[in-house]
Chains A and B, each alone.
Chain A
Amino acid sequence: MDQSHSQEFIQHVINGVSLGSIYALIALGYTMVYGILQLINFAHSEVYMVGAFAAYYVGSNKYLALTEHQGVGALIVLLIVAIAACSILGVTIERLAYRPLRKAPKLNILITAIGVSLLLQYSGQIVFGSDPKLFPEVIKDVSLFKIGGVEVHSLDVTILVVGTIVMLGLHFLVQHTKIGIAMRAVSSNEMVARLMGINVNRIISFTFILGSSLAGVASVLVGLKYPKIDPLMGMLFGIKAFVAAVLGGIGSLPGAMLGGVLLGLCEEMVVGYISSTYRDALAFGILIVILLFRPAGLLGSVQREKV
């Protein structure tokens, strides 16, 4: 009996980390845009949805028929397609909807973000059709090895590996490259950054490209793990990822990763040991409690109001 309990627990941990790393990838997009513009980009979850559909169409039997060429190569093709589609969409949204409002009160741009999100959700239903679609299976789900009597599947490993690579890459980009320094400069003080000769518009566009690309990666990983995609798929994941971003400290990149994994694990444990009815109640309960004790989130720093 004891052994089966520990097996169950390990299974829950594996499930939770796998779910959490997807939350983390989407949360990074929210957090980056917030770090630079102090804007909660509600359209981010729809960018993620469009990425999944782009990969679906290119990978489907009509074009590349990737289900017949399973393997890492096919996965990379899907990732590139989703990243490209998301980047283009993300940067277009920024250019057409957010940039004209940059000088307007913050509330206006927030409402625009909600508007863009709804626009994409409902146009998605017209363009893609609202019935669920089957995402191409490019990685075969086989059990690879066992930890404490629990099978670990190739999909979970793929998600973890791809997620880790992308996050390490992001960390390197932000901390050790010129453009990363420029991003951090714009984030800490836009006006001074401009005086230092940084092209702020270009950096903001780049941030949107980067954030949207992460959403693209997440969309393919989700497509593999839960191969049912539909135009409303962004809503739930988007809100959860947003919670994860706030939990870790919005604006903080390591915070988003930590928040994502933490939320994934918590949800999994609650559903496993209490009841699935409390899943969302818990997600938002955690949010409230953390914000009560640490208003800036787990790893966020309290920002002084800029004058």
Chain B
Amino acid sequence: MKISRHCFLKIRSAMPALSLALVTVLALALGCTKKPTNTNEILVGEFGSFSGSEATFGQSTSEGVKLAFAEINKKGGINGKQLRLISLDNQGKPEEARAAVQRLITQDKVVAVLGEVASSRSLAAAPVAQQYQVPLITPSSTNPKVTEIGDYVFRVCFIDPFQGLVMAKFAALDLKKKRVAILRDVKSDYSTGLADVFATEFKKLGGEIVADESYQAGETDFKAQLTQLKGKKPDAIFVPGYYTEVGLIARQTRQLGMTAPLLGGDGWDSEKLSELGQDAIKGSYFSNHYTTESTEPIVTNFIKAYRDAYGGKTPDGLAALGYDAAGILIQAISRTTEITPKNIRDEIAKTVDYPGVTGKITINEKRDATKSAVVVQVDGKVNRFIKTIAP
């Protein structure tokens, strides 16, 4: 009893200091919300993984978005108003993504939000946008559940079932493979989504799934799983993960003496893939949103502008999607008579045949994009264009 009373007294004597701290924090918080709003600016929010293990995803996307904003601002903005982008880092964590969107909407008062790449982070953050009725466009979250969150959530990429279908078709009909093994990242909604659809579609096309093993993002040793796969003698291995692991998986596959090509999805898309995988990843295939080998003027112009802006760097698929997401948003804003989140939402929903870098984009009634996918083959630093597969 004596002890607890002593503690209580201690807390009481600390009360003035505590309340002072509380008042300071509150004052700071209020100060932030009362930021003077410039009426000549349209504020748009963006959140992404600018640090963390998937940092290149966030950075590429953001570079694409910034390029689109810079282009419209150079042309004088929308009705004389300049667009201003506020980018927040979520460190690749779903809970931070949620907090970032909350802050963008309630403190910075943005009219629309762009982001995220990873489905898990979009799923965490999009309900906030829906709750405050501010439109959110995800450039590259391919999990179907993302846009099911509500009528304020859109995407400009295709969805997982489609990528799984594309690769199943490609494996069965083009590569004529019969026995495919799957190695999936069990922690990622994206990876399991692709793997499930691939398995169903591939079986429908007469193929056999000989093994279905799993790993977790962040691991570096995959030999145990791969040794199990090897025993089943697959003639292709579907690894719908992210490039960070796929490079090592490819190496270890070859070290164990397997020569079957690897197949994957857009999570492979990074210049780092071939750097990490070297010769081991060469000759493998993945589905993607666009190819730098395209000769269409809209694509070549984009690549040129991007290289000029970012020191000769070649834009990856995520940069292209970021650019298209921003483009669709800009067009929607410019069609509104009065710039409110509700009007912007309505205009985004009406997007038909938007000529994007990643193909002609139509937003359907589920707020998903209808568009085609390409299959590319890894060949050193370049990804060779193999085939376009339409929905």
Interface centre among A132, A153, A277, A279 (most CB of B within 10 A): A132
Question: In the assembly, what is the distance between CA of A134 and CA of B247, in Å?
Answer: 10
B243 (CB) vs chain A CBs: closest residue: A132
Is B216 touching A8 in the complex (CB atoms < 8 A)? no
**A11-B227, A130-B52, A226-B221 known; A276 vs B248 contact (CB < 8 Å):** no
Is B276 touching A268 in the complex (CB atoms < 8 A)? no
Q: Is the interface of B mostly helix, strand, loop or mixed?
A: helix
B188 within 8 A of A: no
**A12-B224, A125-B52, A268-B224 known; A131 vs B272 contact (CB < 8 Å):** yes
Is B216 touching A130 in the complex (CB atoms < 8 A)? no
A277 (CB) vs chain B CBs: closest residue: B186
A166 within 8 A of B: no
Q: Which residues of B contact A19 (CB under 8 A)?
A: 221
A184 within 8 A of B: no
Select one of A11, A125, A275 contacting B51, CB under 8 A.
A125
A141 within 8 A of B: yes
B301 within 8 A of A: no
A46 within 8 A of B: no
Select one of A151, A226, A227 contacting B257, CB under 8 A.
A151
Which B223-245 residues have C-beta < 8 A from chain A? 223-225, 227-228, 230-231, 244
Which A133-154 residues have C-beta < 8 A from chain B? 134, 141, 151, 153
Q: Which residues of A contact B214 (CB under 8 A)?
A: 275-277
A232 within 8 A of B: yes
Question: In the assembly, what is the distance between CA of A232 and CA of B220, in Å?
Answer: 12
**A15-B227, A271-B225, A272-B228 known; A227 vs B216 contact (CB < 8 Å):** no
Is B255 touching A227 in the complex (CB atoms < 8 A)? no
Select one of A131, A151, A268 contacting B223, CB under 8 A.
A268
B47-69 to A contact mask, C-beta < 8 Å, 1/0: 00001110110000000000000
Is A276 touching B213 in the complex (CB atoms < 8 A)? yes
Interface centre among A125, A153, A222, A276 (most CB of B within 10 A): A276
Question: In the assembly, what is the distance between CA of A178 and CA of B51, in Å?
Answer: 47
Q: Which residues of A contact B248 (CB under 8 A)?
A: 226-228
Cβ of A241 to closest chain B Cβ, rounded Å: 14
B26 within 8 A of A: no
Question: In the assembly, what is the distance between CA of A196 and CA of B54, in Å?
Answer: 54
B174 within 8 A of A: no
Which B10-56 residues have C-beta < 8 A from chain A? 51-53, 55-56
**A276-B186, A276-B214 known; A134 vs B276 contact (CB < 8 Å):** yes
Q: Which residues of B contact A134 (CB under 8 A)?
A: 272, 275-276
Question: In the assembly, what is the distance between CA of A195 and CA of B220, in Å?
Answer: 48
A1-30 to B contact mask, C-beta < 8 Å, 1/0: 000110010011001000100000000000
Cβ of A48 to closest chain B Cβ, rounded Å: 13
Question: In the assembly, what is the distance between CA of A131 and CA of B230, in Å?
Answer: 31
Question: In the assembly, what is the distance between CA of A36 and CA of B318, in Å?
Answer: 50
Q: Which residues of B contact A227 (CB under 8 A)?
A: 248, 251, 276
A236 within 8 A of B: yes
Cβ of B93 to closest chain A Cβ, rounded Å: 12
Which B337-361 residues have C-beta < 8 A from chain A? none
Question: In the assembly, what is the distance between CA of A151 and CA of B254, in Å?
Answer: 12
Is A15 touching B228 in the complex (CB atoms < 8 A)? no
Q: Which residues of A contact B247 (CB under 8 A)?
A: 228
Cβ of A178 to closest chain B Cβ, rounded Å: 39
Cβ of A188 to closest chain B Cβ, rounded Å: 36
B270 (CB) vs chain A CBs: closest residue: A131
**A232-B53, A276-B215 known; A271 vs B224 contact (CB < 8 Å):** yes
Q: Which residues of A contact B272 (CB under 8 A)?
A: 131-132, 134
Which A225-273 residues have C-beta < 8 A from chain B? 226-228, 230, 232-233, 236, 267-273
Q: Which residues of A contact B221 (CB under 8 A)?
A: 15, 19, 226
B219 within 8 A of A: yes
B311 within 8 A of A: no
Cβ of B90 to closest chain A Cβ, rounded Å: 13
Question: In the assembly, what is the distance between CA of A61 and CA of B213, in Å?
Answer: 37
Question: In the assembly, what is the distance between CA of A123 and CA of B275, in Å?
Answer: 24
Q: Which residues of B contact A275 (CB under 8 A)?
A: 213-214
Q: Which residues of B contact A12 (CB under 8 A)?
A: 224, 227
Is A230 touching B220 in the complex (CB atoms < 8 A)? no
Cβ of A179 to closest chain B Cβ, rounded Å: 35
Q: Which residues of B contact A132 (CB under 8 A)?
A: 53, 244, 272, 276
Q: Which residues of A contact B256 (CB under 8 A)?
A: 11
Question: In the assembly, what is the distance between CA of A267 and CA of B52, in Å?
Answer: 26
B80 within 8 A of A: no
Question: In the assembly, what is the distance between CA of A151 and CA of B255, in Å?
Answer: 9
Question: In the assembly, what is the distance between CA of A269 and CA of B55, in Å?
Answer: 33
B297 within 8 A of A: no
Question: In the assembly, what is the distance between CA of A163 and CA of B272, in Å?
Answer: 30
Cβ of B354 to closest chain A Cβ, rounded Å: 31
Is B228 touching A230 in the complex (CB atoms < 8 A)? no
Cβ-closest 4 pairs across A and B: A271-B224, A226-B220, A130-B55, A272-B224
| A-B residue pairs in contact (CB < 8 Å), sample of 27 | A8-B227, A8-B228, A11-B223, A15-B221, A122-B51, A125-B55, A129-B55, A130-B55, A131-B55, A134-B276, A226-B220, A226-B221, A227-B248, A228-B248, A228-B276, A230-B53, A230-B244, A232-B52, A232-B218, A233-B220, A269-B224, A271-B224, A271-B225, A275-B214, A276-B214, A276-B216, A276-B219
Inter-chain pairs besides A15-B223, A132-B244, A232-B52, 8 sampled, C-beta below 8 Å:
A8-B230, A12-B227, A130-B52, A131-B55, A236-B218, A276-B216, A277-B186, A279-B216
